[in-house]
Amino acid sequence: MIFQDEPIGVMEVLNKRVNAPGGKFTADDLEIMQSLAGFAAVSIVNSRLTHDQKNFFANTMEILGAAIEAISKSSTGHCWRVAQTSCTIARRLKITGQAYKSIYYASLLHDIGYIGAQRQSAQRTEASHPSIGAEMVSTVRLLSAAGPLIEAHHELWDGSGFPHGLKHESIPLGARIISFVEQLEKVRDEVKRESPKIPEGDLHVKLEQFASENIDTLFDPQVVAAYLVEVSPALN
């Protein structure tokens, strides 16, 4: 099997079972096999390419996540935890298809604006990182629906968030989820700073408490409910 002058593999046929004398393969058989081998080679190359692309994408995301964490000075694993918890909540809320994928991409890259805002003062960076992040992904077709979620990932249910002070349903649902998880992460970091050896169970009690205390004020009640049902028992 050859693709663009490169051998991809070998196809072997044995023991032709026909009534023909000796059961020998003919020139016609060879021609059929060669054309089948051609198709097989193309399929193999395509599937390798898809596999490599997926691998490359996952690795790039991992590298980006590490860069975002280093520049935004957030705790190790922050991007992945936000993605994991956001996606769990999204599944509980029966979000599927493109909307779900956008939440996955946006939650992984939510703080990417810190990279673009690097030359600004710390205070300005904090305020502008959602909009800068949205702008950064806007030219990537795959991430176009993630942009508005990144832009709104610091908006809060009661309108007290930034950058636009959006309220209730005017904040996209995906952004309400990511914003909630982003605030949970802040509490997690604080608790860990105060007591680095806190058992996971105790940490989650504190997170649940924070979530419940701010239900319908900072956070969309359905998002908090999905978290309490789906995420916290699994971690306890």
> Cis bond leading into 199, ω under 30°?
no
- DSSP letter string over 119-160? TS-HHHHHHHHHHHHHHHHTT-GGGTTTHHHHHTTT--TTS-
Question: Residue type at 97?
Answer: G
The binding site for Fe ion (CB under 5 A) comprises 111, 182
Residue 165 makes CB contacts below 8 A (sequence gap 6+) with: 155, 159
For residue 56, the minimal CB distance to Fe ion (Å) is 24
Nearer of residues 75 and 236 to Fe ion, judged by Cβ: 75
For residue 183, the minimal CB distance to Fe ion (Å) is 9
For residue 235, the minimal CB distance to Fe ion (Å) is 19
For residue 100, the minimal CB distance to Fe ion (Å) is 20
Nearer of residues 111 and 208 to Fe ion, judged by Cβ: 111
Nearer of residues 74 and 214 to Fe ion, judged by Cβ: 74
CA 92 – CA 177 distance, rounded (Å): 11
Nearer of residues 41 and 82 to Fe ion, judged by Cβ: 82
Residue nearest to Fe ion (CB): 111
**Total number of residues shown for the chain:** 236
For residue 127, the minimal CB distance to Fe ion (Å) is 11
CA 230 – CA 90 distance, rounded (Å): 10
Nearer of residues 113 and 215 to Fe ion, judged by Cβ: 113
**Chain centroid, CA 5 distance in Å:** 38
